[in-house]
Amino acid sequence: MSLTNIQLKQARPGSKPLKLFDGGGLFLLITPAGQRYWRFKYRFAGKEKLLALGVYPEVTLLKARKLRDEAREKLAGNIDPGETRREEKRQILLAAANSFEDVARDWFGKRMEGHCKKHQDRIWNRLETDIFPWLGKRPVNSIEAPEILECLRRIEARGAMETAGRVRWSCSQVFRYAIASGMAQNDPAEVLKGALTKHRTRPFPAITDPEQVGALLRAIDGLHASLVVKCAARLAPILFVRPGELRHAEWAEIDLDGCEWRIPGEKMKSGAVHIVPLPSRAVDILRELKPLTGRGKYVFPGERTSERPISENTINAALRRLGYAKEVFTGHSFRKVASTLLNESNLWTKDAIERQLAHGERDDVRATYNYAEYLPERRRMMAWWADYLDRLKTDVKVDSTQSASRIK
């Protein structure tokens, strides 16, 4: 006989567990302590089993009957409803463990190791600010492209078009890692490449006319500044490393006798060691500076404390004092000068120039092991470049295409 709601309300616990049967394997179990549990009794593969259907009265009689009928339908299809329930719970727990933020942390720890800390911080801060508040707790395999696009639109709304593209790239890397780890089936961030507002990059200002470069070099030689700042400004055009790499130079990285500066991978944008051959002119400048700063860590220590290098604005401030506005020339512009004039000389292979510029390597493993690539040519090129800059300073008409055979 089927149960009624009145029977359920009037039933009282006894000294032993009490079972009130509704039919079709459904019954209400009342414990001596007064708890009331719905159970479904069934047989599968010759074994008697029980399936928990919830607690009364949160699960009503009507709801319990519906759950029983759904379980019986599975049995009719030769499916064990208890095993199905356990798999559903497993998937829920798995999804909770594989949230986008958790997967991103795993990806970041394994894939971003070796990149410079500044680059690491920039990527992680963007994810924490622009993605995690909305998608961080979501299972990585449940996130769809429109949801990511909504986050990226918020970034675009504040005018950070380039940042939106970089955050999309980071999200794509997380999804690819999830796919490789069996936690997701597709990369919804990949399809958003064409959906973002196109960012128009503004190139760094630069002076590439040889005569104007010569005038700039003469101005730097006449710079009224401390020896530390003056040496940094004189080395910037010769070595054309990134401003951050120059100001963070350490004496321990520099071999003056071997004429070489090895920048550790953690300081480089690519995460790989970078070799900078030091032409004799650069060695002379460093030897002039070493008696002053050589006892400390940094080649170019700050004025207030030797525990920190000169500030990131030091070279730019020096250029401003020389009359070069930020729209005309910056510390980063020395790289553009070198790239342009070295390529125009037709004396050096493009690969050697790009390697010396330490432009980003798409293959992280290749970048790690090829830091010495084209090194003999790069040594000759850096010697020629320093000599070429010296000739520009003399205000002599220089043919940059002259043979490099004289450079040993």
Catalytic residue flag (residue 138): no
151's tokens: 């986050």
Q: What is the pLDDT of residue 112?
A: 84
Q: Which of 168, 242, 247, 281 is catalytic?
A: 242
- All structural domains of the chain, each given as residue ranges with its CATH number in brackets, are 5-87 (3.30.160.390), 100-195 (1.10.150.130), 210-393 (1.10.443.10)
* Contacts of residue 47, Cβ cutoff 8 Å, sequence gap at least 6: none
pLDDT for 365 equals 46
332 is catalytic: yes
The pLDDT value recorded for residue 253 is 97
Using the predicted structure, report yes or no on whether residue 345 has a pLDDT greater than 60: yes
**Exactly one of 115, 248, 269, 336 is catalytic; which is it?**
269
pLDDT at 377: 96
For residues 219-235, give the mean pLDDT. 96
**Long-range pairs of 125-128 with CB within 8 A, sequence gap ≥ 24:** 126/163, 126/166, 126/167, 126/170, 127/167, 127/170, 127/171
pLDDT given for residue 2 in this prediction: 87
Q: Which of 46-60, 62-76, 186-200, 361-375 has the lowest mean pLDDT?
A: 361-375
User: How much is the average pLDDT of 202-231?
Assistant: 90
Of 153, 158, 287, 369, the active-site residue reads: 369
User: In the chain, what percentage of residues exceed pLDDT 90?
Assistant: 70
pLDDT at 134 over 80: yes
Region of poorest pLDDT, from 29-33, 36-40, 94-98, 145-149: 94-98
User: What CA–CA distance (Å, rounded) separates 351 from 343?
Assistant: 10
Q: Mean pLDDT in the chain?
A: 89
pLDDT at 402 over 90: no
Q: How far is CA 230 from CA 116, 233, 240, 266, 281, in A?
A: 27, 5, 15, 27, 14
Q: Mean pLDDT across the stretch 102-121?
A: 85
DSSP 197: P
Q: Which of 20-24, 46-50, 165-169, 370-374 has the lowest mean pLDDT?
A: 370-374
Q: Is 335 a catalytic residue?
A: yes
Over residues 240-263, mean pLDDT: 96
* pLDDT score of 200: 62
pLDDT higher than 90, residue 194:
no
Whether the pLDDT of residue 77 is over 60: the answer is yes
Two tokens at 374? 């084209």
Where does the pLDDT of residue 115 fall: very low under 50, low under 70, confident under 90, or very high at 90 and above? confident
Q: What is the pLDDT of residue 91?
A: 67
Our answer to whether residue 153 is catalytic in this structure is: no
pLDDT of residue 404: 42
Give me the catalytic one of 247, 335, 378, 380.
335
**DSSP assignments along 25-76, one per residue:** TEEEEE-TT--EEEEEEEEETTEEEEEEEEETTTS-HHHHHHHHHHHHHHHH
At residue 123, does pLDDT exceed 90? yes
Determine the average pLDDT of the residues in 183-208. 82
Mean pLDDT of all residues in 376-391: 96
pLDDT at 97 over 70: no
Hey, what amino acid is at 121? D
Active-site residue among 39, 332, 391, 393?
A: 332
Give me the mean pLDDT over the 35-62 stretch.
93
* pLDDT for position 271: 74
pLDDT of residue 182 exceeding 60, the answer is: yes
Residue 113 has pLDDT above 80, yes or no: no
Note if 242 is an active site residue.
yes
CA atoms within 13 A on the CB side of 137: 2
Catalytic entry in 19, 110, 287, 359:
359
User: Is 72 in the active site?
Assistant: no
What's the whole-model pTM score? 0.58
Tokens of 288: 């002039």
Residue 262, pLDDT above cutoff 90: yes
Confidence of residue 405 (pLDDT cuts 50, 70, 90): very low
Question: Which of 88 and 46 is assigned the larger pLDDT?
Answer: 46
pLDDT of residue 369: 52
